[in-house]
Structure 1
Amino acid sequence: MSLNINKKRTYNVLGIMTGTSMDGIDISLIKTNGTDIVKILKEKSYNYSLKTQNIIKKIIKNKPKDRKKINEYFIRNEEIINNILIYFIKKFLIDFKIKKNFIDIIGLSGQTVYHDASQNMSIQLGSGKIIANELNIKTISSFRDNDIKNGGQGAPIGSYYHKYILNKLIDKSIIINLGGIANFSAINKNNIYSSDIGPANTIIDDLSNYFFKKKFDKKGYLSSKGKPIYNILNNFKKDDFFSKKFPKSLDRNHFNKYFSKLIKINKYDALCTATYMTLIGLEEFIKKNKINFDTMVLTGGGRKNSFLLKLLKKNIRKKIILIDNFKFNGDLVESQMFAYIAIRSIKKLTISNKYTTGVGKSISGGKLFIPN
């Protein structure tokens, strides 16, 4: 199926998301025009085995300390991620009996392995060129590069899909995405605002793996058995990230120094304390942002953490609703998002602005790869 951006209003797009939780891959096939039309056709989450998850984490952990060598190191390890992506995309097509020629384009997030906006670096593994050639489907990736090149943070990058969703929600709502990292999106005076706000699942997941050889703390059950350790939380509140102005962005390993402290205490207390860290990030956001809202709409895997939800409802005096209540699948919003912004990209529509990433001007982004 040809890709004619001048004549065709909507596109069949495959969105691929591998998030900072590194627990699996989300795939959504949607029909969209990149603005006001979105129809979900097929979608599914595929969980990584603990072995696969640890392979990816090991790649990140073993990165060189010399920042000049980081990019070269990750490129050498990209083949592993390419093979994982290709395997699951092919599986998705088989599972739903989808012919390749039905898909106009793939929107590929890539696996974020390093992010440091202060150094103008954000590295996602997963080659758009190789994916396009292997599957014989046009692929767009590297969505963050143009943003960073123009002085932006490079994250969060999917704000305009959140804007599409927010326009369908109740008034004075904000979206809180509880993935590996927590981020928000909100509309104020018709402008979309976004930012990372703190850890969501990263520390909890890493502790679950360390103490219990589990990929995550299901429903927060393990965390609920512990108590918060306030001297660690008090130090956490002083982290330099919270003093930075919005919008801002995070690498998943920014808070590793607290992980090294948490593994030295009782395992249940460690998980409980990590969950309180997610709460603190949200509390700091509410204190310091200037956007007025009444309802917090939760998406991402963290919305399934019953213990975290209990803490949020107790400590945050806002109405809290799961995005699933509005007929959006909270596990797959981000893969839908990359399909959506892929079409915005080929149409040269804005995907980031000064309120979402701090970029100097409203810009598009992404690189299109056409199969050989």
Structure 2
Amino acid sequence: MENFYKSIGAMCGSSCDGIDFSLIMTNGTDEVKILNNKFFEFDKNLKNKLKNFKNSISDMRAFREKIKSKEFISLELQFSNLIANYCLDFIKEYGTDFDMFGFHGFTLFHSAKDKISFQVGNAEIIKNIVKKNIIYDFRNNDLLNGGKGAPLASIYHFLILKKNNEFDSIINIGGISNCTYRKNSIFYSTDIGPGNCLLDEWAQNYFNKEFDSDGSLSAQGSINQIFANNFIDRFIFEKNVNISFDTADFSISEFRGLNKFDGLKTLTFITAELILEFCKRNNLKKSLVCGGGRKNKTLMRFLKDKAYNIDKLNYNGDFIESQAFAYLSVRTTLGKNISFPETTGTLKACTGGKIL
């Protein structure tokens, strides 16, 4: 008889607003039942600490120096204790036991060139509190095998697409936009470009808002086509697979001459156009959209009839990634592969994640 596991997945995205928790039951292959989801918001002090620490790391040398600092030791202790206690609160609220906890902390440094991806969060501290197997460090084995370390949710996206054949792709619009898509009966996955990262940075700098809630701010602006075309023309890829990005790869600096509403509208347009260009180049006709970007009405209007909110299929688009890491945790426990040449560019299909 096939074994099923109750697995918790936690994902802290690049927006750093908090952490998503999901509890699923799965066999680690073709069956997944979503049991519960919950978002835990970080307080402003922790958000600022995490963002400022990440922004202080410009390259590998800076990374090596910073993670030896007292500042990092204190930050990691605070973050790890918080995540562990959120896990206990999550389970207490839903009154159930579980088999494992897979967590993906906030990414402080990711460099495919240097073959390293580092997320804050100490597995030993978390295990001492949670008292279950901890699955962590999902990306580095992929990097060591020649991959880009991202995107990793692809194999979970595959399951959703297999159950919803009328769609040929899933686009996740988080800090970075990425896509899992079907082409000639083969599944591929790649980062596309900026997702919410430029929009959030602009909203924080010019509106004192964490993000453009439902796109209402960008709706008041006008597109500066010259700025938009310059960015898009420079950005269009030569390759269409196995590209990975970090939010640090993008900046709003070249748009600072625009007024605050036009700047936000232009950045929203650019984000959508890069997604549409990717879909056109890969002949994608009908995409499901998950992640925070699906709530931005201006962005979704720009995506026209290509994009459909995944919520309409009774999924909660806020928790696809945390569900994915719960699923990946079971696959890791079973010794199954989690990344593939078609998804991350790894030289061979490989396992990932460490178990403590």
Whether TM-score is above 0.5 comes out as yes
Which position in structure 2 is the counterpart of 1:4?
none
How far did 1:263 drift? 3.2
Where structure 2 has 5 or more consecutive residues not aligned to the other structure, the ranges are: none
Provide closer, same or farther for how the CA distance between residues 98 and 47 of structure 1 changes in structure 2, counting only shifts above 3 A: closer
Matched, 1:304 2:291: no
How far did 1:203 drift? 0.8
1:297-336 map, 5 Å: 297-313=288-304, 318=306, 320-336=307-323
How many residues align? The count is: 354
Which position in structure 2 is the counterpart of 1:182?
177
Which position in structure 2 is the counterpart of 1:30?
24
Which aligned segments of 4 or more residues in structure 1 are displaced greater than 4 angstroms? 98-101
Which position in structure 1 is the counterpart of 2:264?
271
Q: 1:339 aligns with which of 299, 306, 326?
A: 326
Q: Secondary structure at the residue paired with 1:253?
A: helix
Residues 39-48 or 14-23, more deviating: 39-48
1:84-99 map, 5 Å: 84-94=79-89, 97=92
Provide closer, same or farther for how the CA distance between residues 93 and 129 of structure 1 changes in structure 2, counting only shifts above 3 A: closer
Provide closer, same or farther for how the CA distance between residues 50 and 14 of structure 1 changes in structure 2, counting only shifts above 3 A: same
How far did 1:95 drift? 5.3
How far did 1:186 drift? 1.6
Q: Is the 8 A contact 1:31 1:38 kept in 2?
A: yes
Counterpart code for 2:142: D
Which position in structure 2 is the counterpart of 1:253?
248
Where structure 1 has 5 or more consecutive residues not aligned to the other structure, the ranges are: 1-6
Q: Is the 8 A contact 1:93 1:99 kept in 2?
A: no
Distance 2:151 2:18 in 1: 19
Distance 1:68 1:95 in 2: 38
Provide closer, same or farther for how the CA distance between residues 282 and 240 of structure 1 changes in structure 2, counting only shifts above 3 A: closer
- Please give the per-residue CA displacement for 1:145-187, whole angstroms capped at 9, x wherever unaligned: 1100000000001111111111111334210001110000123
Provide closer, same or farther for how the CA distance between residues 176 and 212 of structure 1 changes in structure 2, counting only shifts above 3 A: same
User: What's the Cα RMSD here?
Assistant: 2.2
Matched, 1:219 2:214: yes
Counterpart code for 2:344: T
1:40-59 map, 5 Å: 40-59=34-53
Which position in structure 1 is the counterpart of 2:338?
351
Q: Secondary structure at the residue paired with 2:216?
A: helix
Provide closer, same or farther for how the CA distance between residues 49 and 221 of structure 1 changes in structure 2, counting only shifts above 3 A: farther
Distance 2:68 2:6 in 1: 30
Q: Secondary structure at the residue paired with 1:148?
A: helix
Q: Secondary structure at the residue paired with 1:238?
A: helix
How far did 1:83 drift? 2.4
Output the TM-score relative to the length of structure 2: 0.92
How far did 1:61 drift? 1.2
How far did 1:72 drift? 4.1
Q: Is the 8 A contact 2:22 2:36 kept in 1?
A: yes
How far did 1:113 drift? 1.9
How far did 1:274 drift? 1.2
Q: Secondary structure at the residue paired with 1:102?
A: coil
Counterpart code for 1:302: G
